[in-house]
Amino acid sequence: MKERHLFRLSAAMEYKKPKLEFEERQPLGPNEKFALIEIVRSFPEIWDEHNPAFKDSARKTQLWHMVRREMEGVHSREFQDLELQRAWKNLRDSYRRKRKEIQEFVARSSGSAASACVAIKKKSWPFYEAMEYMDSVIDQGCGTRVHRLKRKLSSGAESPELTVKNGCECGDSFDTLAVRLRELDELDVLAAEEFMYKINSLQLEISRKLLDIKRRGR
């Protein structure tokens, strides 16, 4: 009976071991991220929403196995599919945020100085140029919103440029929060969960505040 108990305990410890190893893994370094970007590029089913196989989860699972094997071949170390998926999601979301920030800057700027600023903004994030192949599938997002605001406010009291600037800055702040949370989740899952709990509590408070304001406005 005692031997059976020890066997079960040993089996349980072995079962939990991979999870511990994953949690203790170091995040991908810059060279590994560049490699991941290029490898994923060769599998458009992963990132191109217009690809017929984009929504095929079984196919995507298979492709991520292939991505992992290529990464292991290039860097001579082990990776996990989930680890690479999280890193890719963080890169993709960061690129979308940076791209939107640049588009909004261009929409309210002009001249050679603006072009120089755009180049600086791109260089500020080392993976920007490597991720530009995503341009064909990323929704223009805030770029469309900027033009819509300019048309709507063409006869308003407040200048379109000021309103667009304020709106974009707020959007960037919210997007930055989301990107940082994902980055934290990649580095420390438990810490990310703790922050998500706090954010959920804040969302509840915000909902109550909005409801209270709406009731007073009636």
> Is residue 81 a contact partner of residue 43, using CB atoms and an 8 Å limit?
no
Collect all residues with Cβ–Cβ distance below 8 Å to 86 and sequence separation of at least 6.
182, 185, 186
Residue with the two structure tokens 């071949």: 73
* Tokens found for residue 48: 């191109």
Quote the distance between the C-alpha of residue 161 and its chain's center: 28
pLDDT in tens, 83-105: 999 999 999 999 999 999 998 88
Residue with the two structure tokens 């308003």: 156
Q: Please give the Cα distance from 12 to 16 (Å, whole number).
A: 6
Q: What is the pLDDT along the chain (218 residues), one digit of tens a residue?
A: 545 444 444 444 444 444 434 445 678 999 999 999 999 999 999 999 999 999 999 999 999 999 999 999 999 999 999 999 999 999 999 999 999 999 888 888 877 777 888 888 898 999 999 999 999 898 644 444 445 545 544 544 444 444 434 444 444 455 556 656 666 766 666 776 677 767 766 766 777 777 778 778 76
